[in-house]
Chain A
């Protein structure tokens, strides 16, 4: 597929902008299969954006590290002796060998297995065998530290970027991104459960992201989970009570919403009454959030039980109980990493109950996710067929039928039926990221959430 001619194809601004038409929702399927576009995504989206690395609970002690990714670049994420979290490329400055081969572990320093170059937990090169003899002491170690990524965190969730000119994480996330992260902390402090489920799906990463906004597929794709008694589609889908929230740089949230009149009643209750109300609901119903959640999620956001996506590839799901990273592995492959969160303060039995349930939803053997993967891989496959790809993806649902409203906090939200506003917002942002040559251009030219008919 990836012949030389195709690899060499350069995409200019006009060509990229023509790939998606927000007015009709037509997406060129080459977006899901073209090698040249994929290479450009690694550069203009992954290397430029803030990428999720880990939650603070995954690195408790100094020296604890894990290996994550920015695009296809491996990143060592480590807590150093000062308690600081550092992110560095997992590649020795000498010959490029990987310093960490384990996916997680504990280290006092990182010693390269090739020639023994030794790096401190903050990336400084602190030892080179033969520095005096073979290098005649003229090696400038201070210039040969590991390439560091910028690291910032929000509510204990660490992100990294390779772009020096990127805005702060706080500004990058904006109102919608912060609401998405806030959803995970809405019921109190959380920790990541030991063990990340990882598997590879033969699909383009954007098909997986597109799908998280898609509440249209749930009753059909996941019909068998419903029949088996695992999932009560009627209880979770709320097809007529949906909200899509739009944010800058492509962040969005889509899915079921608690109607404003119901929220008005909840607002009258104290936390104890809310907890009681949650317990009285049938199993699987979204939990009524405590008062502090409004601060974290906003007046509109607090009503959402939908799916946030932190652009480009972090999906927050099950009302903030799980996260899934979609790591690109070429135009036709995506690696999925599933993280599960539990309230820190929950008793062990309650944690066990959440974990057992989460073990059965997603992941390769999950009763829901089993059926998603093949839909995505077959859609990606179509995007490679010459005639098939000319048809374009159809993402029209809801165009012109809804209205974006806003409030004092700057939330932008659309309430109504199931729609594809979230997916269109994703691809619109994608084209903007892909045509911008640097952050200055992206900052100046990206879409702000509109107000009014959409």
Chain B
């Protein structure tokens, strides 16, 4: 569901501000670094930031009435645009590296924006956060795609950095206005 998830761990809410600010800073820096790798087409390096047990998912959004908002998004296990584990993400990266991924040769020019980052929960070594994203993709002479939405990420502490454990992407479009989504969000 695309309802606004609120921070629920009392312990996180009660965490002193300097500590919260520091974690927010660290998480954001990780998200920016990750976005920069994707924009630079360093897909293999990006994959290095992804946990083995990753859950990378973009359900299908549908135009429904207010009465049917519980059916706005498809649920896990139903049809989706992305429904990837690590092996599938690795396939996407291998495909991009193959030298024959024609829909990415010439390559797309993409820019990943991440904003409105709010940490929702911290449990053990995992942070759950919500963010808005805007992925702009320019292709060939004049193709331009803008994919905007909300996402929920789970990051796991790994030494000085993090690993991406979960990314659930809730796109704002229902009928995707693009020839393809040959990219990584």
Measuring CB to CB, which residues of chain A are less than 8 angstroms from any residue of chain B? 101-106, 193-202, 221, 223-225, 227-230, 335, 338, 340, 352, 355-356, 358-360, 363-365, 367, 369-371, 373-375, 377
- In the complex, what residue of chain B is closest to A200 when comparing beta carbons? B177
Known: A198-B174, A199-B176, A360-B91. 6 other contacts (CB 8 A): A195-B79, A227-B95, A335-B175, A355-B77, A364-B178, A364-B180
A102:B94 contact, CB within 8 angstroms: no
B68:A106 contact, CB within 8 angstroms: yes
State A224–B101 Cα separation when bound (angstroms). Answer: 5
B175:A200 contact, CB within 8 angstroms: yes
A105:B64 contact, CB within 8 angstroms: yes
If A200-B177, A202-B179, A364-B179 touch, whether A105 touches B79 (CB-CB below 8 Å) is no
B88:A197 contact, CB within 8 angstroms: no
Interface membership of chain B positions 148-173, coded 1 if the CB is closer than 8 angstroms to chain A and 0 otherwise: 00000000000000000000000000
A363:B81 contact, CB within 8 angstroms: yes
| Chain B interface residue count, Cβ-Cβ cutoff 8 angstroms | 41
State A223–B98 Cα separation when bound (angstroms). Answer: 8
If A355-B77, A364-B181, A365-B82 touch, whether A103 touches B95 (CB-CB below 8 Å) is no
Distance in angstroms from A68 CB to nearest chain B CB is 13
B103:A373 contact, CB within 8 angstroms: yes
* Segment touching A, from B13-21, B55-63, B118-126: B55-63
Which residues of A sit under 8 angstroms from B95, Cβ to Cβ? 224-225, 227-228, 230, 367, 370
B75:A371 contact, CB within 8 angstroms: no
State A373–B83 Cα separation when bound (angstroms). Answer: 21
B180:A370 contact, CB within 8 angstroms: yes
Distance in angstroms from B43 CB to nearest chain A CB is 12
User: Which of A227, A228, A375 has the most chain B CB atoms inside 10 A of its CB?
Assistant: A228
Which residues of B sit under 8 angstroms from A335, Cβ to Cβ? 175
Q: Does B4 contact A (CB under 8 A)?
A: no
Which residues of A sit under 8 angstroms from B24, Cβ to Cβ? none
Which residues of A sit under 8 angstroms from B25, Cβ to Cβ? none
B91:A371 contact, CB within 8 angstroms: no
Interface membership of chain B positions 105-130, coded 1 if the CB is closer than 8 angstroms to chain A and 0 otherwise: 00000000000000000000000000
B103:A374 contact, CB within 8 angstroms: yes
If A104-B64, A227-B98 touch, whether A194 touches B179 (CB-CB below 8 Å) is no
Distance in angstroms from A379 CB to nearest chain B CB is 12
Which residues of A sit under 8 angstroms from B100, Cβ to Cβ? 223-224, 227
| B91 CB contact (under 8 Å) in A200, A228, A373 | A228
State A367–B78 Cα separation when bound (angstroms). Answer: 18
Which residues of B sit under 8 angstroms from A102, Cβ to Cβ? 62-65, 68
A105:B181 contact, CB within 8 angstroms: no
Which residues of A sit under 8 angstroms from B180, Cβ to Cβ? 199, 364-365, 369-371, 373-374
User: Which of A102, A106, A197, A200 has the most chain B CB atoms inside 10 A of its CB?
Assistant: A102
Which residues of A sit under 8 angstroms from B138, Cβ to Cβ? none
Measuring CB to CB, which residues of chain B are less than 8 angstroms from any residue of chain A? 58-60, 62-65, 67-68, 71, 74-75, 77-84, 88, 91-92, 94-96, 98-103, 174-182
Q: List 10 A-B contacts (CB under 8 A).
A: A103-B63, A195-B59, A197-B60, A198-B174, A224-B95, A230-B91, A355-B83, A360-B88, A367-B92, A374-B102
State A1–B60 Cα separation when bound (angstroms). Answer: 34
B94:A229 contact, CB within 8 angstroms: yes
Distance in angstroms from B166 CB to nearest chain A CB is 17
B92:A374 contact, CB within 8 angstroms: no
Distance in angstroms from B26 CB to nearest chain A CB is 30
If A106-B68, A373-B103, A375-B102 touch, whether A355 touches B78 (CB-CB below 8 Å) is yes
State A224–B98 Cα separation when bound (angstroms). Answer: 6
State A363–B60 Cα separation when bound (angstroms). Answer: 11
- In the complex, what residue of chain B is closest to A227 when comparing beta carbons? B98
Which residues of A sit under 8 angstroms from B98, Cβ to Cβ? 223-224, 227-228
The 3 residue pairs across chains A and B that have the minimum distance between CB atoms: A195-B79, A195-B74, A199-B176
State A106–B78 Cα separation when bound (angstroms). Answer: 20
Which residues of A sit under 8 angstroms from B99, Cβ to Cβ? 224, 227
State A217–B78 Cα separation when bound (angstroms). Answer: 30
State A355–B63 Cα separation when bound (angstroms). Answer: 22
| B102 CB contact (under 8 Å) in A101, A224, A363 | A224
B79:A193 contact, CB within 8 angstroms: yes
User: Which of A196, A200, A202, A371 has the most chain B CB atoms inside 10 A of its CB?
Assistant: A371
| B78 CB contact (under 8 Å) in A195, A338, A365 | A195
State A352–B76 Cα separation when bound (angstroms). Answer: 10
State A371–B68 Cα separation when bound (angstroms). Answer: 35
- In the complex, what residue of chain B is closest to A195 when comparing beta carbons? B79
- In the complex, what residue of chain A is closest to B82 when comparing beta carbons? A365
| B179 CB contact (under 8 Å) in A195, A229, A367, A377 | A377
Distance in angstroms from A336 CB to nearest chain B CB is 9
- In the complex, what residue of chain B is closest to A221 when comparing beta carbons? B102
B176:A105 contact, CB within 8 angstroms: no
Distance in angstroms from A54 CB to nearest chain B CB is 14
Which residues of A sit under 8 angstroms from B59, Cβ to Cβ? 195
